[in-house]
Structure 1
Amino acid sequence: MPRPTRAGLAVGAAMAVIAATGATLAAQTSNAGSAAAAPAARDAWDPYRGQVEVVRADDSGQAPGDGSGRKLSGRVFVDSDRDSRSGGRERGVAGVTVSNGRDVVTTDRQGRYELPAFENMTVFISQPAGYQVPVDEANVAQFHYNHLPEGSPKLKYGGIEPTGPLPAAVNFPVVKSKATAADRQHCVIAGDLQTYDKAEVGYARDGAVADLAKRGDYAGCGPLFIGDVVGDDLSLYPDVKQLTKQLNGPVRFLPGNHDLDYDAETAEHSFDTFREQLAPAYYSYDAGDTHVVALNTVRHPCTPDVDNADGKHPNCDDPENSPSYNGRLGEQQLKWLEEDLAEVPSDKLVVVASHIPLLTFADEGSPRHQLD
């Protein structure tokens, strides 16, 4: 399928963006010279390894079910012993935003939250400044839990494994971090890695990834890959994770139109493999005085009733025999976005990241490559 243009890089007064594409490395900042300083040593990155704590229902006597009409609860806590398990005297973190991808709540004084539960939801926290979520062995940020009791429909690349009944609790560990508390942040935002085979993974390894591996000045904010992580072959995600092992900061991802489960019959499951292996389809996080909103702007398969009501998207008219994609934000994501931004102080810098841009003049003749 045609490739969308890359989303633009947002640069604010308190945020320097290191833009990495192909084998090049460029530095941009609003204050001349701050991003062009000598790269920090690799050992500036001290990864906090861990994972989200899922307390299973069968461990607590909770009845099985898909979660419909019920609540999911848990807490955000400081993982002082770094074992990813809440308990003892580990304190909760108040005021942290937690979401099911639709509703947004904030934690109480003990770090507790409660959210409506439904099938095929992703529960995640917005990392607060001054704290760091855990990362796995590939440095991929761990801040979400997928709930899909029966798993994905049959998909070529696997989708989401069955999660079983609604957990008794989902707890999110964090550790205190001076790096994410700093007002000035250097962040990597990279578009269209888009590797089609293992040889192209090697090109990325020897190019921009090798450059970024030498510097640690982005360790607080970390890299954000804004879509087309691979080129249609989702079996390459493990190879991409071998690349992110070399990076010096928590790695986050957004999906693009080349990260799709193309055999998904509905948009509800079109990014299941991406969600299982990399990240939620959309989310937010804080670094210093910056609030990053990471949006999913790809809908596949698009349909005539939703996407071609204006007559400008005829590619969406036959999703069964000729499935296609469109640039769009769904109603659930918009509801989440409104509630997420309502929790953001008005003096924060907000950086909006997406794959298909909100508006592009580089490809203005293609309705599906900018948002409806």
Structure 2
Amino acid sequence: MDRSCSRAPRRRAVSGIVALGLAMTALTALPAAACSGRVFLDHDGDGRHDRGEPGLAGVAVSDGHTLVRTGADGRYRLPRGTALHFVVKPAGYVLGRRADGLPAHWARARGACADFALREDPRPAGELRVLLFADSQTRDAQEVEWFRRGIVERARITVSETVIRAGDGAGSTLPSRITVSDTVIPPALGVTLGDITNDDPALYPQLIEAVTSLGLPWLHAPGNHDVDLAAPADAGSLASFHAAFGPDTYAWEEAEASFIVFDDVIWQPYPGRKYIGGLREDQFAFLAAYLRDLPDDRPLVLAAHMPFFDDEPGIQTFRPADRERLFALLQRFEHVLLLTAHGHVQRHFFHEAGTGWHGARPLHEYNAGAACGSYWSGPLDADGIPLSTMADGTPKGWGELRLRGDGAYGLRWFIAEAASDPDTALALHAPQVLRRGSWPGQAVVANVFMGRADTRVEYRIDDGEWMPMVRVDQPDPRLLAENLRDDAAEELRAYDRLPEAAPSTHLWRGRLPTDLAAGEHRIEVRVRDPWRGEDIATTRYRLVDRDR
């Protein structure tokens, strides 16, 4: 025994602030003691371990750096007892909810590690439906209310009705596709891809209340607008996020896939660019430890905020060395899907050797559009919510992922405009009238919200032959028209005007013939999507004879 520990402490008068500082110095100087806890099967669902409730063996528990597995009795031991820690929810089980409605998959050790209560999952394995929100990015209580009514409530109605049709995959270079029956499958999980709020963590409780009202376990990744702006360095920049949502990097398992949700924002608060995409050493340690035990054919879904590709030529969005290191960890897996956000536009990117991916086939990254659209801007719709069309012409809304255990998956975008069908796949723009016999330089333009470079888009006039449309990199003329209306208005049409239209990656163009009979002509545009099958949209234009 160290007898010095038994001596009475010398009494000194110190201020409360100094005493607190001394206490914190003492705590940080001492190594954190290890702690232990248990993962058990909670038969009665009360969240407490009772006699007769067995421990669950082989379940992963982590502090975000070290990963351990429970023993035969469900016990685990972590080396750092003061750390925030979490259980990797195993497939076939469900977790209880915290007081705020979020999953009870994490805790902060206060002298002991937590016990994690699991129950058997009644959902049959086979196909998983996941709701995807990105960039809700609310600045105040008004925008939280718009998010609740304009996104959450519309999603609540839509998810109970929508059926994804079977795609034929014709002409697609996608690594996999999904064929879905006509059965409505309820969603079983929700994920928010960062920028939950817009630099105001005080809004987190209201945003949590909104998403948890859907009754799903909801996972959150932090974004660049979820950092604490006063933080002097990346370390400690997510204190508010941790307090509300728990770990910033963690895993979650369903029967169909493993989900890895992580922070990929490196906060660098000095003059110039405040952040860049990247990963920390502790995150690489966790990822390596978790992935090591997974079989090669286990589907992986990685959810983060910052895109892994460069947003603009010559400007790094994500640190190349970190991207290559991450991709090296993923390379052996046969089925990997990346989900990101941040850009307030909608894109699909396929990584190959040029971005550090050396897998057997291109790595698909779905860069999702924003729930807030263009930052809650533009005129109000019929429900009093800003239209907030994004700069690429995509309406604000939310995404949906469906996937199976064989790696097949399907993605879709739902639009949140009061006057539109939320399942609308494309929007058309065409002139209303043209002079018959004029040079056929005017066109119908189709914005296919989930379009990719290999998407087949065709059009026909009246009952004529189907003709291919040409993909173009240009602004959506529908948004350009709104820009001109804003320019011409002598007063603001809304609190904030819509963004300046930017070139879209999912726009197609087809020339309109002018050598047809005078009168009205129907334009049909069809899209063949490997995930949702065929969609058709129609509009009209008139040909008139005109004398000089």
Q: Same fold per TM (> 0.5)?
A: yes
CA contact (8 A) 2:265 2:277 kept: yes
Q: Distance in 2 between matches of 1:228 and 1:282?
A: 15
Q: Distance in 1 between matches of 2:303 and 2:144?
A: 23
Q: Distance in 2 between matches of 1:183 and 1:364?
A: 41
Q: What is residue 11 of structure 1 aligned with on the other side?
A: none
Q: Does 1:266 align with 2:266?
A: no
Whichever residue aligns with residue 98 of structure 1, its letter is: V
Q: What is residue 280 of structure 1 aligned with on the other side?
A: 247
Picking from 148, 154, 158, the partner of 1:205 is 148
CA contact (8 A) 1:187 1:218 kept: no
CA 1:285–1:364 in structure 2 vs 1: closer, same or farther (change >3 Å)?
A: farther
**Structure 1 residue 169: Cα displacement:** 3.4
Q: What is residue 305 of structure 2 aligned with on the other side?
A: 355
Q: Distance in 2 between matches of 1:276 and 1:126?
A: 19
TM-score normalised by structure 2 residue count: 0.47
CA contact (8 A) 1:363 1:369 kept: no
Q: What is residue 62 of structure 2 aligned with on the other side?
A: 99
Q: What is residue 145 of structure 1 aligned with on the other side?
A: 107
Q: Does 1:195 align with 2:195?
A: no
Q: Distance in 2 between matches of 1:134 and 1:364?
A: 45
Bigger shift: residues 343-352 or 137-146 = 137-146
Q: What is residue 336 of structure 1 aligned with on the other side?
A: 286
1:145-294 matches, within 5 Å, as: 145-147=107-109, 166-179=110-123, 182-214=125-157, 215=159, 217-220=185-188, 222-294=189-261
Q: Distance in 2 between matches of 1:137 and 1:203?
A: 24
Tell me the matched-pair count.
270
**Structure 1 residue 131: Cα displacement:** 0.4
Q: Distance in 1 between matches of 2:317 and 2:90?
A: 34
Q: Does 1:366 align with 2:315?
A: yes
Output one character per residue of 1:179-199: Cα deviation in whole Å (capped at 9) or x when no partner. Answer: 2x6131001122111111111
Q: Distance in 2 between matches of 1:242 and 1:249?
A: 12
CA contact (8 A) 2:81 2:111 kept: no
Three-state SS of the structure 1 residue aligned to 2:235 is: helix
**Structure 1 residue 135: Cα displacement:** 1.6
Q: For structure 2, list consecutive stretches of 5 or more residues without a partner in the other structure.
A: 1-25, 161-184, 323-548
Picking from 111, 127, 141, the partner of 2:74 is 111
**Structure 1 residue 322: Cα displacement:** 6.5
Output one character per residue of 1:26-47: Cα deviation in whole Å (capped at 9) or x when no partner. Answer: xxxxxxxxxxxxxxxxxxxxxx
CA contact (8 A) 2:136 2:197 kept: yes
Whichever residue aligns with residue 308 of structure 2, its letter is: L
Whichever residue aligns with residue 82 of structure 1, its letter is: G
Output one character per residue of 1:252-281: Cα deviation in whole Å (capped at 9) or x when no partner. Answer: 101000001111123221001111112311
**Structure 1 residue 338: Cα displacement:** 0.4
Output one character per residue of 1:205-238: Cα deviation in whole Å (capped at 9) or x when no partner. Answer: 1222112223364543x11101000011111111
CA 1:104–1:129 in structure 2 vs 1: closer, same or farther (change >3 Å)?
A: same
Whichever residue aligns with residue 195 of structure 1, its letter is: T
Picking from 77, 80, 96, the partner of 1:134 is 96
Three-state SS of the structure 2 residue aligned to 1:336 is: helix
Picking from 36, 58, 73, the partner of 2:36 is 73
**Structure 1 residue 146: Cα displacement:** 2.9
Three-state SS of the structure 2 residue aligned to 1:170 is: coil
Whichever residue aligns with residue 134 of structure 1, its letter is: G
TM-score normalised by structure 1 residue count: 0.67
Three-state SS of the structure 2 residue aligned to 1:269 is: coil
Whichever residue aligns with residue 129 of structure 2, its letter is: H
Q: What is residue 123 of structure 1 aligned with on the other side?
A: 85
Q: Distance in 1 between matches of 2:211 and 2:49?
A: 28
Three-state SS of the structure 2 residue aligned to 1:127 is: coil
**Structure 1 residue 122: Cα displacement:** 2.1
Q: Distance in 1 between matches of 2:75 and 2:280?
A: 29
Bigger shift: residues 106-115 or 207-216 = 207-216
Between structure 1 and structure 2, the one with the greater Rg is 2
Whichever residue aligns with residue 326 of structure 1, its letter is: I
Output one character per residue of 1:70-89: Cα deviation in whole Å (capped at 9) or x when no partner. Answer: 31211101111222111311
Q: Distance in 2 between matches of 1:97 and 1:364?
A: 40
**Structure 1 residue 358: Cα displacement:** 2.2
Q: What is residue 427 of structure 2 aligned with on the other side?
A: none
Q: For structure 1, list consecutive stretches of 5 or more residues without a partner in the other structure.
A: 1-63, 148-165, 303-318
RMSD across aligned C-alpha pairs, in angstroms?
2.3
CA contact (8 A) 2:107 2:246 kept: no
**Structure 1 residue 364: Cα displacement:** 4.4
Whichever residue aligns with residue 167 of structure 1, its letter is: G
Whichever residue aligns with residue 232 of structure 1, its letter is: D
Q: What is residue 25 of structure 1 aligned with on the other side?
A: none
Q: Distance in 2 between matches of 1:344 and 1:268?
A: 29
CA 1:363–1:78 in structure 2 vs 1: closer, same or farther (change >3 Å)?
A: farther
1:18-97 matches, within 5 Å, as: 68=31, 70-97=33-60
Q: Distance in 1 between matches of 2:277 and 2:229?
A: 16
Q: Distance in 2 between matches of 1:142 and 1:125?
A: 9
Whichever residue aligns with residue 248 of structure 1, its letter is: G
Q: With CA pairs under 8 Å and 6+ residues apart, which has the higher RCO, 1 or 2?
A: 1
Whichever residue aligns with residue 235 of structure 1, its letter is: A
CA contact (8 A) 2:193 2:304 kept: yes
CA contact (8 A) 2:84 2:246 kept: no
